[in-house]
Structure 1
Amino acid sequence: MDFFTHQWLLAYSEPLIRGGQVLLIVLLAWLLQRLLARGLTRLGERYPQLPVQVLLPLRGVLRWLIMGSAFMLVLERLGVSAQVLWTALTGFVAVAAVAFFAIWSVLSNLFCALLIVTLGPFRIGDCVEVIETADKPGVRGRVLSINLFYTTLEDLSEEGLGTWVQVPNSLFFQKAVRRWRSGEFPTLRKTEV
């Protein structure tokens, strides 16, 4: 072996070995994922009482666990510390969880506004009542506007005549709602004594 070949082997042997290890990790992860998927399919065929609604999510969870573990192993082989990876991952998950809970009500109202517009449980001009309980009346009024967060109602009760009430859109899907298309609430007839 001459001097240049020896120098070339010394210079490139470590990257070639790492590349081979990375390739081996990816290949083994893919193979393990395929074997587990095939095993779950055979398990479902052998035991038909196992619902597909259980096997499909299980297959997806296993696939993500295997590929995530392989990704972590690849990064570790490339020189990234496992402690740094886990710290970054847990920090990201914690921030994502806090952000998700912080914007949950906003996202809920946005989605409910989309449902109100597309499904049309009521329209502008209708009179609606959000019922609290069977013995307690809720918010009533004529629908003036529907925006991304609130539905604005004109309060038609005697004590609140002329005031506007903004009801979060998600409330219309959490409570029972009465609707009058005529634009007027029915008057209650008092029985004569």
Structure 2
Amino acid sequence: MIEQVDLLQWLATWREPLIRTGQVLLIILLAWIAQRILTRAISRLGARYSLLPQEVLLPLRGLVRWLIMGSALLMVLERLGVSATVLWTALTGFTAVAAVAFFAIWSVLSNMFCALLIFTMGPFRMGDTVEVIESADKPGVKGRVIAINLFYTTLQDVSEEGAGALLQVPNSLFFQKSVRRWR
């Protein structure tokens, strides 16, 4: 009889935290099941009907996974007492700051991404002579590639008036203009 009273008191004390823990575990379990079902469905639809290439399916599955898990995280935080309004305000504020920062460093990121493409795709190599063509009636920048880094490709000028001068061409320019190459 004493043990039963103690158990009831213990349950009364821990009832709310146990219910909340159960709700959090249920949210996580349902989110995991939902993302597994949806990502498998996307994979099967892509394989069966060839609607989308594999290069599109992979990011689509990742996007679905992030959306479901992000939503589950917001639901868990709300169950733990964090206000949805505060979360939404923080999320939108962070997104706005991130967007401004992204646009502020766009040219830097563009040059870094183009450097990655130059290294992986190999449109030209060290020692090649390249010319970035401005337009049909104007001569462009021409030189021998002596260095490639994250922001610039350094060319040694091969023209007669600027022989020996070093030209630093932003990497993104090689993907915005036509390029002639000589090995």
Same fold by TM-score, threshold 0.5 exceeded?
Answer: yes
The match for 1:130 among 126, 132, 151 is: 132
Conserved 8 A contact 1:130-1:172: yes
Aligned amino acid, residue 74 of structure 1: V
- Aligned residue number for residue 31 of structure 1: 33
| Superposition CA RMSD, Å | 3.2
Percent identical pairs in the alignment equals 72
Mapping for residues 31-180 of structure 1, pairs under 5 Å: 31-37=33-39, 39-40=41-42, 48=49, 50-51=51-52, 53=54, 57-117=59-119, 119=122, 121-124=124-127, 126-161=128-163, 163-180=165-182
Q: Give the number of the structure whose residues are more often helix, by fraction.
A: 2
Structure 2 residue matching 1:12: 3-state secondary structure: helix
Q: Which of 134-143 and 81-90 deviates more?
A: 134-143
The structural deviation recorded for 1:76 is 0.4
TM-score by length of 1: 0.72
For residues 155 and 38 of structure 2, what CA distance do their matches in structure 1 show?
A: 56
- Return 5+ residue gaps in structure 2 as ranges: none
Residues 31-52 of structure 1 show CA distances to partners (whole Å, capped at 9, x for unaligned) of: 333444455566567x726335
- Return 5+ residue gaps in structure 1 as ranges: 182-193
Aligned amino acid, residue 126 of structure 2: R
The structural deviation recorded for 1:121 is 0.8
Which structure has the bigger radius of gyration?
A: 1
Aligned amino acid, residue 48 of structure 1: Y
- Aligned residue number for residue 13 of structure 1: 15
